[in-house]
Amino acid sequence: MHREFLMGNEAIALGAIAAGVNLAAGYPGTPSSEVLETVAKRRPRGTYVEWSVNEKAAMEVAAGAAYAGARVMVTMKQVGLNVASDPLMSLEYIGVKGGMVVLVADDPGPISSQTEQDTRHFAAFSKVPCFDPCSAQEAYEMVQEAFDYSEKYGTPVFLRPTTRVCHGYASVTVKDADEYRVNSPDGFIKDSGRWVIFPRLSLRNHEKIEARNETLAEDFSSYERNCIYPPDRRNDASGFGTAAGRDDASGFGTAAGRNDASGAGPFAGTGKKGIAAGGISFTYAMEALKDSPQSARLFKVATPFPFPEKLALEFLDGLNEVLCLEELDPVIERELTYLCGKHHLPVKIFGKLTHHVKNAGENSRDSVNQNISDFLGGAAGQEDISRSQAQSPSQPSSQSSSQSSSQPSLPVRPPVLCAGCPHRASFYAVKTAMKGKKTIFCGDIGCYTLGNAMPLDMVDTCLCMGAGLGIAQGVRRIEPDTTCFAFVGDSTFFASAITGVVNAVYNQANMTLVVLDNSTTAMTGHQPHPGTGRTVMGDVTAKVSIEAVLRGIGVSVVETADPLDLSASVACVKRVAAEPGVKAILFQSPCIAITKPSGCLHVDQDRCIRCGKCIRELGCPALITDNGRVCVDASLCTGCGLCAQVCPVKAIGGGDGNE
């Protein structure tokens, strides 16, 4: 064993490697991306890793390997689970032979997502067991245990870290390479009675799943990571303590409150109040309680589904009130409320449903500290306990406000396209070409969603990956006089847009598809995709041509343009948009993060007429004003030349040689 300073996602990846993972597949999405990248970087010989074209494909590739006895991991973020849900729902009825961990990183906030959806609900919906780590150390160990549970019960399982577990850093104790488990798959064994999903098989297996999950709930009640503090309530059956050799299994030492049977520390009394928490909220609760003069019984829920009912009843025994702390939805709160009703327990359950804890956004150490302080400071059911902590995500806690009142406010930095981003040039070319026409610009998920910001204002709709094509088709059916554009990135084209193009061609739609091809998956960290010609393991492979795919589908008008050549791009848009039916423009220019800048531009102040058109129309962060003069920020400019082409008096020059 040795220690490494790791991001939570890196710890999860190393845990999977230590567990003997044979195959890992996924689709990039913050906050999950680093898991698969780390597996690719640190993998032992013989481990296969791929960025699949989308989460559905990743789930299916992994399922095939698990059928053959391999240990597999699938990685995605919470909205990616929507894409993967089709095979997952059926896979649970079929089951697996090798261990299968489905890593779904939830994004409370949301920090970089369309939704705040909670995967714990999806676990119950799909009947798939769920593990919820509270720290990087626990995530490292829990993923190994998740593989064991998956194989024991023949089912895929969820590992559901949230953003602060995924992206937080910690010193993590990890195994040496010679301690890794080696998993040798025994291969696929034909058995149509097991692997072919017929209605009769589904009915029989559904009954087995329900019975299995009842057994799992019992099993999880003795799972060492579900535990009650102080530990002496269970005679240390939780598995914590030196005798079990796991004193720091969750990432906390005795200083954090894992006290002995003497009852010393913040959990000194069993009291009449309890706190139930899971995931990162448990970590915050431990930190809040370790220096607290008040005492409370604490219930850590590491497996929200199937819920450890037996252990939960032990926790509730003798309590009057319980505060639930969790991200995102009131999953633990509802389970405890249900148990109180089922067993006629006189315990009041407080949390999101009672508005004592905010019901949107991520928790923080400050918010949890304030929630606990309010709860332990008085009767939670009385009006004298403020419900002000159930704030909207934009409202800081009172403690945070008092701490920050003497500090200057941070500047507001709205998200914008990078200086020199080719997407800005693509949007501007389409906007210029379509000026004065009735148009709709249907956007998509990626860097180019930022095209909605002023002054571009070029994203009228954005729903989910690939949806812009369908929305454009739908609008056109109702408003035949509207010129409809759908924008999609190169990675998203492969992930989920091809189906929309097929639908458009087959149903004789009239729309223009604009593929913003910057040769990478930019927003999530520049991962490769089928159009880049390389894999996550570094292998060189054949590039899949977007133009060839479009022509194969039946799109007869496909033109390619360099968006940084403004006049040629505008002419291309006018020409293609005037064609009937489904047509496509490929704007091809590499992301500035994967190409070298061509030199900084400069403004000839003698020529400049101070009209501000370059700033007013482009919104490039490299264009600034200084005492009324338009200037170029040399630290940001990449020399793309777009502003030089927009300037009406040719006052901007330099860069790659243009004057």
pLDDT band at 476 (very low <50, low <70, confident <90, very high): confident
Find the DSSP H helices in 155-264: 163-167, 192-195, 199-220
Strand 273-277 to 321-325 pairing: parallel
The highest-confidence range among 165-169, 261-265, 266-270, 480-484, by mean pLDDT, is 165-169
Q: Give the gyration radius of the chain's Cα atoms.
A: 28
pLDDT at 241 over 70: no
pLDDT at 239 over 70: no
pLDDT at 66 over 60: yes
Q: Is the pTM of this model over 0.75?
A: no
Look at 394 and 79; give whichever has higher pLDDT: 79
- CA torsion sign, 89 to 92 to 94 to 95? positive
Least confident of 38-42, 194-198, 219-223, 626-630: 194-198
pLDDT band at 248 (very low <50, low <70, confident <90, very high): very low
Alpha-carbon distance of 75 to 592, in angstroms, equals 27
pLDDT at 606 over 80: yes
DSSP codes, 540-597: B-PPPPHHHHHHHHT--EEEEE-TTSHHHHHHHHHHHHTSSSEEEEEEE---GGGS--
Backbone angles phi, psi at 497, to 5 degrees: -95, -20
Looking at residue 463, its pLDDT comes to 74
Looking at residue 657, its pLDDT comes to 42
Contact 49, 39 (CB under 8 A): yes
Domain architecture of the chain: domains with CATH: 2-220 (3.40.50.970), 227-242+262-394 (3.40.50.920), 422-594 (3.40.50.970), 601-654 (3.30.70.20)
Alpha-carbon distance of 294 to 65, in angstroms, equals 51
Give the Cα-Cα-Cα angle 96, 102, 104 (nearest 5 degrees).
160
pLDDT at 612 over 50: yes
Residues 6+ apart with CB under 8 A from 511: 469, 472, 473, 476, 484, 485, 486, 504, 582, 583
Look at 451 and 571; give whichever has higher pLDDT: 571
Helices and strands per DSSP (H, E), number in the chain:
22, 22
Mean pLDDT of 335-351: 95
Q: How many C-alpha atoms does 389 have within 13 Å on its Cβ side?
A: 28
DSSP codes, 371-396: HHHHHHHS-TTSTTS--TTS--TTSP
In whole numbers, what is the pLDDT of the chain averaged over residues? Answer: 84
Look at 100 and 534; give whichever has higher pLDDT: 100
Look at 328 and 120; give whichever has higher pLDDT: 120
Look at 593 and 559; give whichever has higher pLDDT: 559
Mean pLDDT of 184-201: 82
Least confident of 312-321, 495-504, 511-520: 495-504
Looking at residue 655, its pLDDT comes to 57
Mean pLDDT of 312-334: 94
pLDDT band at 262 (very low <50, low <70, confident <90, very high): very low
The highest-confidence range among 69-78, 523-532, 539-548, by mean pLDDT, is 69-78
Burial 98-108 (b: 16+ CB within 10 A, else e): bbbbbbbbbbb
Alpha-carbon distance of 372 to 263, in angstroms, equals 20
Longest dimension (CA), the chain: 83
Strand 130-131 to 157-159 pairing: parallel
DSSP codes, 457-507: ---SB--STTHHHHHHHHHHHH-TTSEEEEEEEHHHIIIIIHHHHHHHHHT
Q: List pLDDT tens digits, range 518-535.
A: 877 777 777 877 777 787
Looking at residue 247, its pLDDT comes to 37
pLDDT at 264 over 70: no
pLDDT band at 6 (very low <50, low <70, confident <90, very high): very high
pLDDT band at 472 (very low <50, low <70, confident <90, very high): confident
The two structure tokens encoding residue 200: 């009769």
